Amino acid sequence: MSEAVRGEAVLKVENIETYYGKIAALKGISFEVHDKQIVTLLGSNGAGKSTTLKTISAITPASEGKITFMGEDITKMPAHSIVERGLIHIPEGRRIFKNLTVTENLELGSFTLKDDAERKRRVQNVFDRFPILGQRHKQMGGTLSGGEQQMLAIGRGLMAGPKLLLLDEPSMGLAPLIVAEISRIIKSLNDEGATILLVEQNSKMALGLADYGYVLDTGNIVLQGAGSDLKNDDKVIKAYLGGE
């Protein structure tokens, strides 16, 4: 089985339409994410990438269409119930709690968990994965660098025990060396079995990681294919992804 089609469909998005007032942000898009894949959504600013993630996680409700997660229709489900099922959205801009410590930020990521011993184990797992966070566990989130805040945002998402991670612009505003580190982290999560839906403006990074990609343009999916195929198509890069 090829990398692009391995595993079962964890997420199915079918003919989703989402509006901001009377403006259609998504115009009937459909796609799938299969188990243990990295799937990326690409496109310019305003293409509908972040809206797609917000619609899946019920931050911005869909007006039409159907979203199925692990075989269950979640289209009309409230956001907290979607989190309880293991669909975790790590938003654009990190959105950490700057006036809480690193540890407190992580603990908030496990709000659905009743077992304190398991919570402590998960915190330690995050510190094992991101040693810098362990070293700074008592620091306020707002004192961390941009890269460290992104690690904290990812760590907070991992605290919920995700079955699917929605990652929105994890490389935004970071220096090239830190972007490379975030890319390595995403790959290692996938190598360990995580299923990831990745939104990125950095198309080179995203297509280097992705099993499969979808290109959005003004609320429509205009192209799709294996990550390696899209990465090597100069016309795709020039037309849709801002390349020269």
Segments making up each domain of the chain, as ranges = 3-240
Comparing 44 with 49, which gets the higher pLDDT?
49
Angstrom distances, CA of residue 242 to CA of 45, 48, 111, 183: 10, 16, 39, 20
Give burial (CB, 10 Å; 0-12/13-18/19+) of 167: buried
pLDDT band at residue 226 under the 50/70/90 scheme? very high
Q: What pLDDT, on a 0 to 100 scale, did the predictor assign at position 95?
A: 86
d(CA 244, CA 242): 7
Taking 60 as the threshold, does the pLDDT of residue 217 lie above it?
yes
Q: What is the pTM of this model?
A: 0.91
Comparing 34-48, 133-147, 229-243, the range with the smallest average pLDDT is 229-243
Tokens encoding 116: 């304190």
Residue found under tokens 């990550």: 227
Question: Can you point out the beta strands (E) in the chain?
Answer: 9-20, 23-34, 38-42, 64-69, 72-73, 87-90, 164-168, 196-199, 212-217, 220-226
- Topology (CATH level 3) of domain 3-240: Rossmann fold (3.40.50)
Tokens encoding 194: 């995580």
pLDDT tens per residue, range 23-39: 999 999 999 999 999 99
If you average pLDDT over every residue of the chain, what do you get? 90
Taking 80 as the threshold, does the pLDDT of residue 68 lie above it?
yes
Q: What pLDDT, on a 0 to 100 scale, did the predictor assign at position 105?
A: 95
Q: What pLDDT, on a 0 to 100 scale, did the predictor assign at position 237?
A: 72
